[in-house]
Amino acid sequence: MATPLDFKELQELAAEILGIEPDQVQLDKSFAKDLAADSLDLVELIAAVEDKYDVELPEAELEKMKVIGDLWKFLEQKTAERLEA
Amino acid sequence: MAITTAYRTRSGAVPLRSFKTKGRHSAIAGMGVYAPEKVITNFDLEKMMDTSDKWITERTGIRTRHIAEPGTTTLELATKAARGALDAAGITANDLDMILVGTSSPDGPFPSIACRIQDELDAPGAVAWDMLAACTSFVYGLATADSFIATERADNVLVIGAEVLSRMLDYSNRGTAVIFGDGAGAAVVRPAPDGAGFLSWCLGSDGRGYLQVTCGNKELGAYAAKDPRPIIEMEGPDVFKFAVDIFIRQANEVCSAAGISMEDIDLWVPHQANFRIIDAAARRIGLPLDRVAINIDEYGNTSSASIPIALEEAIRKGRVKTGDHVLLAGFGSGLTWGASLLKWV
């Protein structure tokens, strides 16, 4: 049984990986422009998200990740699929 | 800061093979290194291609790399490192039973660099051959040396990692040309007391990832395709993910096979591919960077030579003491990977 998602958890994880404050991690924040995350930061963050949430993000999806909200939407979708399963 | 999220094995990842050392133990008895005198800085590269010191430093941690003059042979670098290792170990070439050279940049298809070194050093009693496992070659060489010593088929083994990668770079491609450098490192491996030296190994390969790091025609190979000038190419993000992942898994494997906890690692000597890979893996393993040997800033990625060059520097700077637990770990094209946990003699 999947547990509901907690945005705070994602904020903390992203902050830990990107070396920023959790409050800076908001849905509309761009990885590149607002959070100064380069492509390697993003790969590292995605790997940590995959570990934490037991999901796998296809390479094609990775390119679509522009803002925190994109990552959150992906996680919500995965969780919804699990609840249905 | 240690990352707290528990590690999880990805689907599709191959199971790892790890071994606790059996038979007669072996250890590194002496090391030697050599890098060409010529140094190319990021600022030099700024003048040669569309890149910047900031871009290179932030994404790779590299500031300089040693580059051989055109016409320099891998043999030349390897031989200089080999002589240093023999001196440090206090043995002569005549004592050698085996010479193993790990290289991805041989001077030609054959004869092997190992046989040429045998001739240069005058080591008539040795069996000599090259092994190609890209950046993992040196670890595979050490593992082979350990196996032959364990089974009492050899006493003194010379293992070398040597590369002139600058021959395989295109200085108009900022993606890979900025990363690699030339150099060589060598170790003499000899029998060690029980419970010391190499304690465990984790070796593996996953050919499904053959496209991730290539040199020359990707499907046929450079020789078959009559590729006149094969150039190193890399799938950056894929390699990054694989590398961090395999560093963490290997560290777990060799520590558990050796019966020690990851916190007991005194020094980790990783393959110097990219500072960001090392940093990301160290945080996930929970190792502070003062327990990691890093000199990629000076040398860049020297493939099979990177681990011996970093280890030799750590020894020279007094960072390795008798009884220390030292983790050596590499990964590379193939895909290949290899790690060992040593109790320093």
Token pair of B221 as six digits:
């190979």
At B291, is the pLDDT very low, low, confident or very high (cuts 50, 70, 90)?
A: very high
Cβ-defined contact of A59 to B1 (cutoff 8 Å): no
The number of folded domains in chain A is: 1
Domains defined along chain B, listed by start: 26-191 (3.40.47.10), 196-343 (3.40.47.10)
Catalytic residues of B: 135, 271, 301
B103: closest CA among B209, B242, B215?
Answer: B215
pTM of the model: 0.92
A63: in domain: yes
Task: Return d(Cα B253, Cα B339) in angstroms, integer.
Answer: 9
- Quote the longest CA-to-CA distance of chain B: 55
β-pairing, B64-66 with B39-41? Answer: antiparallel
Residue B284's pLDDT is 86
The whole-number pLDDT of residue B4 equals 47
B335: preceding bond cis by omega (within 30 degrees): yes
Question: A16 in a domain, yes or no?
Answer: yes
β pairing state of B183-191 and B213-215: unpaired
- Listed as own residue / partner, the contacts of B125-128 with beta carbons closer than 8 Å and 24 or more positions apart are B125/B94, B125/B95, B125/B96, B125/B97, B126/B93, B126/B96, B126/B97, B126/B98, B126/B99, B126/B158, B127/B97, B127/B98, B127/B99, B128/B98, B128/B99, B128/B100, B128/B101
Does A2 map to a domain?
Answer: no
The pLDDT value given to residue A1: 45
Residues in B closer than 8 angstroms to A64, CB to CB, are none
Lowest mean pLDDT: which of A18-27, B132-141, B179-188, B295-304?
Answer: A18-27
Q: Is the pLDDT of residue A15 over 60?
A: yes
Q: What is the mean pLDDT of residues B98-124?
A: 97
Q: ipTM of the assembly?
A: 0.77
With beta carbons under 8 A apart, name residues in chain A contacting B241: 43, 47
- Which pLDDT band holds residue B110 (cuts at 50, 70, 90)? very high
Least confident of A8-22, A48-62, B291-305: A48-62
pLDDT at A17: 87
Q: What is the dihedral of CA B82, B86, B92, B96, to 10 degrees?
A: -70
For residue A1, being part of any structural domain is answered with no
Categorize the per-residue pLDDT at B11 as very low, low, confident or very high, splitting at 50, 70 and 90.
low
DSSP per-residue string spanning A53-79:
HT----HHHHHH--BHHHHHHHHHHHH
Domain with A61 in it: what CATH number?
Answer: 1.10.1200.10
Q: Which of A38-42, B57-61, B110-114, B174-178 has the highest mean pLDDT?
A: B110-114
User: What's the mean pLDDT when you consider all of chain B?
Assistant: 95
Residue B1 has pLDDT above 50, yes or no: no
Which chain B residue has the Cα nearest residue A18? B280
Q: Is the peptide bond before B111 cis (omega within 30 degrees of 0)?
A: yes
Report yes or no on A40 lying in a domain: yes
| Structure confidence at residue A56 (pLDDT) | 83
What local confidence, expressed as pLDDT, does residue A48 receive?
85
Q: Which of B5, B11, B241 sits opposite A43 (nearest CB)?
A: B241
Q: How far is B213 from chain A (nearest CA, A)?
A: 17
Residues in a beta bridge with B19: B201
The whole-angstrom distance between residue A15's C-alpha and the CA centroid of its chain comes to 11
Percent of chain B with pLDDT over 90: 91
Domain that residue A49 falls in: 7-84
Q: A17-52: per-residue pLDDT in tens?
A: 888 999 999 999 999 899 988 888 888 888 888 888
Output the CA angle A63-A64-A67, nearest 5 degrees.
Answer: 115
Average pLDDT over chain A, rounded to an integer: 87
What's the pLDDT band for B14 if we cut at 50, 70, 90? confident
Within a domain: A49: yes
Rounded to a whole number of angstroms, the distance from the CA of A28 to the nearest CA of chain B is 24
Out of A41-50, B42-51, B70-79, B218-227, which region has the weakest mean confidence (pLDDT)?
A: A41-50
B10 contacts A56? CB cut-off 8 A: yes
